[in-house]
Amino acid sequence: MKFATGAFYGVALGLLAAGLRELLTGFEENRCSMTYMFEYPEYRRVALPRRVARLYPAYGLYLYGEGLYAQETRALKLTGAPVLFLPGNAGSYKQARSLGSVALRKAEDMETGVHLNVFTVDFNEELVALYGGSLRRQTHFLHESIKAILRLYKNFEDPPRSVVLVGHSMGGVVARALFTLPRFSPHLVSLIITQASPHLAPVLALDTYLLDFYAAVRQRWVNQADDLRNVTVISVGGGFRDYQVRSGLTSLPCPPGDLSKLSLVATAVPRTWVSTDHLSIVWCKELVLATVRAFFDLIEPEARQFSENPERRMAVLNHHFIRHPVRMLDETQETPISLSDSPEAWSEVNTLRLVYSTPKDGQAKYFLFALSSRRKAYSHFYCRSNNLEMTSWVYGCTQRNGSLCVRSVDLSMGTELLPPYKVQILSLSDLTSVSHLVVGASNLNGKQFTVECEWQRQESQTISVPVPHVLSFGLTASDVTVSSSGLLHTIVLQHFHQVYQAFRINVVSHCKVQKDRLSSVYRMKVPWFREDSLTTVSTPSVTEISGMLHTSRPDNSSGVLLQLHTAPNCQYKVSVRASFPRVLGQMLRFCGPMVPVYTAVTLLLACGGQLSSILRTGRAVDMSQVVARGLQPHKVDLPVYILHLLLGCSWFQEAWSILRLPSMDALPATFPDRTFQEAVAPVEEWPRLLSPLLYVLGAAVAFWCSTLLRLVLHLISLILAPLHRPSVSRDCGTLHLRTQLLIILSLTIMGGASCGALSIFAAFLLHLYRVLRLQMTERSLSHMLNLAPQKHKETENGTVDSEALSKTKECNGAPLLSECALQEVRDDLQLHLCLSALFTLPIMLSAPSLIHWIRNLRYSTQLDPDPCWPHTVPLLLEYMLLINCNTLKLSRSTLLPLTSHLPLLLTIAMVTFSPLHLYRVTYFLSAALVPLAFSCLL
């Protein structure tokens, strides 16, 4: 039986390890380039008003500088455009050096006098992602910092009226929270760029202050969205390398018509195309360059400050973060263009495909494609060039003179930049006023490049392939072969639109003739969110693409597109297989907060099972056995699912509201912009269907962590044994009632004056001491009696036989040195081991508050606000009263029948109300321990 239990939980632990491995390592290598400082960075502290400095002693405002620029700005006489960097969770203000250094080098290269003044805020590296008590304080300090920055420009001829904010992680959430302040003027901030910021929901909701803060921000930006349309916000997610904040959470809730809000993933940013982890998104050179280029393009040359025009801001941001065409929207040439009038420069192309490589000697070259003969047979014109200079190169001819085009319009605005080349795809139905297409391939500077163009029939080059079922475990594959009949092929991956799906997509290319070719580009295009990923390979090659999503499609109307920019005269074979380890990784990425909830459920049911055993037999069961029996999905998940179904009925909803019960918790929806999809946020069914598997993983964590706790306590007892006198009494480590009350009062005062988590931790240590003394007593009795550890015979259902039961009943009058005395100590030890495992959960959930208090001791000895204070006194009472608890007292208690059945009801409530509110786990555990503590007294 023990072997089967160990094997089962070993397999469950293996599944958890496989999922964690995919989550933490199952992504591409870090391809970000590091940003370097060429001179020593300096951070000049900006003086704040005394009132502000007194209210926020732990915070500070700094100006970044290097070398000569740092010396010139020593007196804080500034003439640049202000940018303020906001660090995130446990982030340092010095993380602004990448943005500041690149901006300084850019200003030096431009030599126009236009430059940025990069400021940074010191938030004392607070853990605001886990402790929400500081978020409101950070928001108020940010407001004061913005006002202080603008005051530095008061002697400037045309002073800036706003500050651009760049927020990393929780810094981006704090930036949006500015607009919730009653005295904040919205015109002070017109542009916010956030990096890996969880806008939809917190990663882990460990206290009420964090959720209240998110609710206030969401209410301001959702309910009053029309008032904030002039505020431009762009949110950039890190991609799959960022396992701390999944990119789906970085989506901005905004109405469909609000074009001033952009959400995207770093893999889709032109000239970046890389996934970043949670920290490297700050210093990733490719992304920092895109941000700095956008900033300088946003500066008006005359005023040398950021543009106040929202349309201008969006045009620039779309240019650098979305598509990167040849020029920005406001630079479009409306007048007809005159091209070269030299007949030698013109060639008319009558074939279906053009492949042209420029010679070493520079020359003007234009290719003319007639549209009249192609309109009926083809739908699109495709052209690409590895000349990455973003200049006009595709035109529509409106007037000809013989073989020359004398009048044309620029069609290059639709150009899209890919890593190895730029691509232009034109729909022939949009070119009714154009007679010919002109492709420029001039290389007057002698630069060599290749141009490839062809006519396309999009329907014939689009293939639909159904993806394998997510539970096919890679045993089946969907294969498709693409011939060399085109330069662009699109494979529609049917039914691929949910985040729990994960595939291995293998692309094998081979060519009949070996020669130099342009690289192939495989692009996973997600129609409903900007999370495209690109893979550049040579030909021939064997490539594996990871097929996973950051967001789901709400209506399941279409799937992911796999675009293959292929080489001519080559064949491509695409194979799609489900990957079970990646499915596990996606499950942990999106449903990870459910695992600690089910761990608490398992430990609480184990405690209930221990109490039931004491009620029936007067004996405690071995800790590993009772924890193993804590896996009871039929008793927990089934009632929760029935509740979910009943809530679909109007009468049950009315009864639910009459009882004033909170709504059932559901994990954050995986749909982008979910707030505006429907009047009520949709609830996804797949996390509920996965709950049994999540329960198994949570039970595995409880089983092996309780085993580890038991081992650690055993080792500590061996170390402490020489320091204690041997004891043979089951009452070792207990406290008198007066001492208990005195300790409870002292710890309560200490918790109120300092930190509630500190008091809870001190009470936990006192209970651990009781467990250690029981272990030392059990070992001493075994040695004194020279008895080997014995196991009572148990029936198949785990109950003790009648002989063992009668022997237990006779132990009350036995002498201290007897087998019965040893058994009593062992029973108490198993009971307290279960309680210790249960007591560990509130300690872990309150750890962020304790860490925050320790790190801020030099500024304040009291944690304000303290999220642990509401349950500090109940936990102190329970921890201290249960120190004296033993199986004899419990078996005689009149409250034990009620206490043993309460954990099951509380676990159902825990699964119903805790996935989005992890701090509620502590309240449910406390509710289960209150009657247990009274059972020891009554």
What is the spatial distance between Cα 896 and Cα 891, in angstroms, rounded to a whole number?
A: 7
Backbone angles phi, psi at 706, to 5 degrees: -65, -35
Residue 163 makes CB contacts below 8 A (sequence gap 6+) with: 82, 83, 84, 119, 146, 149, 150, 188, 189
Options 169, 235, 251, 533, the catalytic residue: 169
> What gap in Å lies between CA 764 and CA 767, rounded to an integer?
5
CA proximity to 135, closest of 845, 865, 667 = 865
Q: Report which residue type is found at 174.
A: V
| C-beta neighbour count of 184 within 10 angstroms | 18
Neighbouring CB atoms inside 10 A of 110's CB total 11
877: its two tokens: 């009472």
Is residue 263 flagged as an active site residue? Answer: no
Distance in angstroms between the alpha carbons of the first and the last residue of the chain: 37
DSSP state of 916: S
Contact 270, 423 (CB under 8 A): no
Q: Which two tokens stand for residue 607?
A: 């405690």
Are 178 and 142 spatial neighbours (Cβ–Cβ below 8 Å)? yes
Distance (Å, rounded) from C-alpha 245 to C-alpha 18?
Answer: 20
**Contact, 86 vs 171, CB < 8 A?**
yes
What gap in Å lies between CA 585 and CA 502, rounded to an integer? 9
Tell me the C-alpha distance between 701 and 12, whole Å: 9
Three-class HEC string of 550-594: CCCCCCCCCCEEEEEECCCCEEEEEEEEECHHHHHHHHHHHHCCH
What are the residues facing 164 on neighbouring strands?
83
* Nearest CA-CA partner of 69 in 34, 39, 95, 45: 39
| Tokens of residue 34, six digits | 């590091």
CB 232 within 8 A of CB 891: no
849 neighbors 759 (Cβ within 8 angstroms): no
What is the sign, positive or negative, of the torsion defined by CA atoms of 677, 679, 680, 685?
negative
Give the pairing of strands 353-357 and 366-370.
unpaired
| Alpha carbon 802 to chain centroid, angstroms | 55
Structure tokens at 684: 């996804």
What angle (nearest 5°) sits at the alpha carbon of residue 672, between those of residues 671 and 676?
Answer: 95
Annotated catalytic sites, by residue? 169
